[in-house]
Amino acid sequence: MNMLIKSIEAEYRRYKAMAEGAFAQVSDDQLSEPGPGDGNSLAIICWHLSGNLKSRFSDFLESDGEKPWRQREEEFAQRRVSRPEFISKWAEGWEVLLGTLATLTSADLMRSVKIRGQSMFVHEALNRSLAHASYHVGQIVYIAHAFRGKDWRYLSIPPGGSTAYNANPVMEKALNYVETIKDKAR
């Protein structure tokens, strides 16, 4: 696998771990509660991101990334979900993405793919998708932090922790970040 693809995969994994660190801090009921200002719930964001990843990365190199079977509007419907349902839905999209990334080669990066009929290079589609995932992970962290309030466990450098972190910067590489989040969750 190409170093660029490995780097992109590592960043996806870093954001996945960050979201999972946030999910681990909220109650089962909070997964379905609207976010601040009556915004999207964690479940809505989960359904949307999972649907997006499944659509974009199923048959990635051969068919349009906006699949006819995807029901995007339905992803934004209010829903009550159990934690197992939530985790299952979350995993669906990530499994498709990570499975596809494992098959890509250096030669694939300059191939053309389509999303909603618009052509772009594979590397552009990967960067676009990574930015989309990071945007929604930011929302997930914000909502979970709002629910937890003062009981929030920071997923990165906590306020007042820069000096200590700079002495031992363990999260500068994506895979180190994933391991650090797993350690914090224990």
pLDDT at 61: 98
| Partners of 121 in the β-ladder | 112
Q: What is the pLDDT of residues 121-174, one digit of tens each?
A: 999 999 999 999 999 999 999 999 999 999 999 998 999 999 988 998 887 766
pLDDT at 57 over 80: yes
pLDDT at 87: 98
pLDDT at 62: 97
Q: Between β-strands 118-121 and 112-115, what pairing exists: parallel, antiparallel or unpaired?
A: antiparallel
pLDDT at 184 over 70: no
Dist CA 60 CA 29 (whole Å): 35
pLDDT at 65: 96
- How many domains, the chain? 1
Dist CA 143 CA 109 (whole Å): 35
* Count of helices and strands (H, E) across the chain: 7, 2
Dist CA 75 CA 144 (whole Å): 19
Please count the other Cβ atoms lying within 10 Å of the Cβ belonging to residue 15: 22
pLDDT at 176: 66
Q: What is the pLDDT of residues 75-118, one digit of tens each?
A: 999 999 999 999 999 999 999 999 999 999 999 999 999 999 99
pLDDT at 54: 98
pLDDT at 170: 80
Q: At what angle do helices 122-148 and 42-57 cross, to 10 degrees?
A: 170
pLDDT at 180: 66
110: its two tokens = 């300059």
Dist CA 25 CA 65 (whole Å): 33
pLDDT at 2: 86
Residue 127 lies in domain: 3-185
pLDDT at 50 over 90: yes
Dist CA 147 CA 12 (whole Å): 25
pLDDT at 171: 74
Contacts of 22 (CB under 8 A, 6+ apart): 140, 141, 143, 144, 145, 155
pLDDT at 182: 65
pLDDT at 177: 62
Q: Are 175 and 10 in contact (CB under 8 A)?
A: yes
CATH of the domain at 128: 1.20.120.450
| Partners of 92 in the β-ladder | none
